[in-house]
Structure 1
Amino acid sequence: MKGTIIISLSAKWTTILKNGLLIILGAFIYAVAINDFLIPHQIGEGGVTGLTAVGYYALHIPPFITNLVLNGLLLVIGFRFLDQKTVWYSLWAVLWISIFLKLPRLLQYQTRQTIIPAIAGGVLMGIAMGIIFRGEGTIAGSTILAKIMNRYFGMMTGTAMLLFDLIVAIPSGLIIGLQNMILTVVELYVSAVVLNNLLSRFGAKKSVTIITNQTDQVTAALSKRLKQGITLVNAKGYYYQEKRPMIYAICSKPQLAEIVPVISTIDPDALVVIEDVHSVKGELLDKIL
């Protein structure tokens, strides 16, 4: 019993350490996107990050101060409505984003082709948020509000984030100009596409459905190779009215490359249907919404 408790605590702290390091990495990439691509080219952002940019452009307030203060207030709201673990991880993310925003520019990149920093900043933003989300945190700001909307009103998190981001991004055109406001919307769109793609890959698996005359042999071979559960589904062919079980299994892409030759060796005439699926535990479903 004591050994089980020690193992459980060790696994818990390992998870916390892994998530903490992922969030630090994501916060660093996020700060690079702001310091090296958005602010130098007067491109805005959505949510609290957009307000930090506007505050810098209009009032010369250091971005790290605005980020820390506004996100701190939103995290207080988050404690009331959201899971406390997510809020603590988000606080960790906000802290490190603020620290990295205070550092000097890393890349010193400057160009007149303003679409380039908009796209590059959007890609980095999307990657950063994906990494932070993978570490079970958020960047606070509009993410906190979006999660509240998702939890209590059923609005998809991505849609709610875009809504709150645009509320800040569009009026920012009064300060940064119409062209830069349009570039801001482009950057937001790019970051949303990148983030959605990263989230869609979280828990992504392949589903394999097999119809074969050698059901027992194929099932035994797959079970031995995959070392996991395999489902047999009772099925009936309409034309010949023949009853035959279908084999259904979930596997990763590397595992798929291993099992297809096995199936072909046992039954070259087997019908194999492969589809992309998102296979995650119930409590992790919010990560792919």
Structure 2
Amino acid sequence: MDDVQQILKRHQYVAKASTAVMYGIMVSIAMNFFWTPGNIYSSGFTGLSQLINTLSTRYFPITIPPSIGLFMLNIPFFVLAWKQIGHQFTFFTILTVFLASFMIKAIHPVYLTHDPMICAIFGGVVNGLGTGMSLKNEISTGGLDILGIVIRRKTGRSIGTINIAFNVFIITAAGFEYGWPYAFYSAIGIVVNAKAIDFAYTRQQRMQVLIVTDHPKTVIDSIQSHMPRGITIIHNAEGAYNHNKKEILFTTISRYEMSELEEALAESDPHAFASITEAENILGHFYEHKLK
């Protein structure tokens, strides 16, 4: 059993390291093929590193390239993650940010187009997919991700307002540096980036599940063997067509767990009826896998 666990751990480490490499390549493509040629600023610390590069090039005797700026900006957050989140998480975050910085420097810009709309959209898609893939494999790309995890653990709240304010600052800076049309293009790129992250990273999306079944105990046991979810039972429901007695089960899962839910239902009651809708908001405790 211990040998199997060691093999699984090694597989997870290799998967995370491979994802870090892929993210580094994708963010460098977004930066060097789209954002830089189109004068587009990204969101978060990547966008801040671009801004520092622009300002240092124009107003200071030394130029701080985005690759160096990105890594330097993250150093205080590496320390925060090491103390507040976990050592393994911090190690892979450092690896991811280092590889991103290295790839941005190593892969030279290719000016496919200077059209700011194309650059905003395709840069956002490429970077968003890379970020979502990283989050899906439980590694962080640094920056405000770390702050968000720490604040959510301490207070249960998100840092949505901080994220919005930070990105408004980046967009405003793009307007002052390149002209206000480019601020709007950067805003489009940030929105596309967020949508691409949501497309790739489904763990944070919550789904409300209603199951009508004749075999509630079997279904509950099967679901809970696949995922750590609480389930509420509504007794004595009645079918309107043939008036048979039914039980209704209610639970909430992440979109990431959809395949596990489908597998659990297929195993326990293939004739069960399930209605699944997106949950707009959740109050109260919802179990989330802890990062190490």
Partner of residue 187 from structure 2, selected from 175, 185, 188: 185
Determine if contact 2:131/2:141 at 8 Å carries over to the other structure: yes
For each residue in 1:52-86, what CA deviation from the matched residue of structure 2 results, as whole angstroms up to 9, or x when unmatched? 21233331432211112222233123323333322
Say whether 1:90 aligns with 2:93: yes
What is the letter of the counterpart of residue 37 of structure 2?
P
Partner of residue 123 from structure 1, selected from 122, 125, 143: 125
1:244/1:169 Cα in 2 relative to 1: closer, same or farther (>3 Å)?
A: same
Determine if contact 2:37/2:119 at 8 Å carries over to the other structure: no
For each residue in 1:14-36, what CA deviation from the matched residue of structure 2 results, as whole angstroms up to 9, or x when unmatched? 11111111222122112211111
What is the letter of the counterpart of residue 146 of structure 1?
G
Partner of residue 47 from structure 2, selected from 47, 50, 66: 50
Q: Which residue of 2 is the match for residue 267 of structure 1? A: none
Which consecutive unaligned segments of at least 5 residues does structure 1 have?
264-269
Determine if contact 1:23/1:131 at 8 Å carries over to the other structure: no
**CA distance in structure 2 between the partners assigned to 1:100 and 1:121 by the alignment:** 15
Say whether 1:235 aligns with 2:235: yes
Determine if contact 1:86/1:137 at 8 Å carries over to the other structure: yes
Partner of residue 16 from structure 1, selected from 13, 29, 32: 13
Classify the secondary structure of the residue corresponding to 1:109.
Answer: coil
Identical pairs, percent: 17
Classify the secondary structure of the residue corresponding to 2:112.
Answer: coil
Classify the secondary structure of the residue corresponding to 1:193.
Answer: helix
**CA distance in structure 1 between the partners assigned to 2:77 and 2:223 by the alignment:** 45
Deviation at 1:227, TM superposition (A): 12
Classify the secondary structure of the residue corresponding to 1:200.
Answer: coil
TM-score, scaled relative to structure 1? 0.74
TM-score, scaled relative to structure 2? 0.73
Determine if contact 1:32/1:105 at 8 Å carries over to the other structure: no
Determine if contact 1:38/1:121 at 8 Å carries over to the other structure: yes
Which structure has the larger Rg over C-alpha atoms?
1
For each residue in 1:70-124, what CA deviation from the matched residue of structure 2 results, as whole angstroms up to 9, or x when unmatched? 2223312332333332221110110110111012347541133x21211111112
Q: Which residue of 1 is the match for residue 69 of structure 2? A: 66
- Range moving further from structure 2, 117-126 or 249-258: 249-258
Which consecutive unaligned segments of at least 5 residues does structure 2 have?
58-62, 252-257, 280-285
**CA distance in structure 1 between the partners assigned to 2:160 and 2:110 by the alignment:** 30
What is the letter of the counterpart of residue 62 of structure 1?
P
Determine if contact 2:40/2:174 at 8 Å carries over to the other structure: no
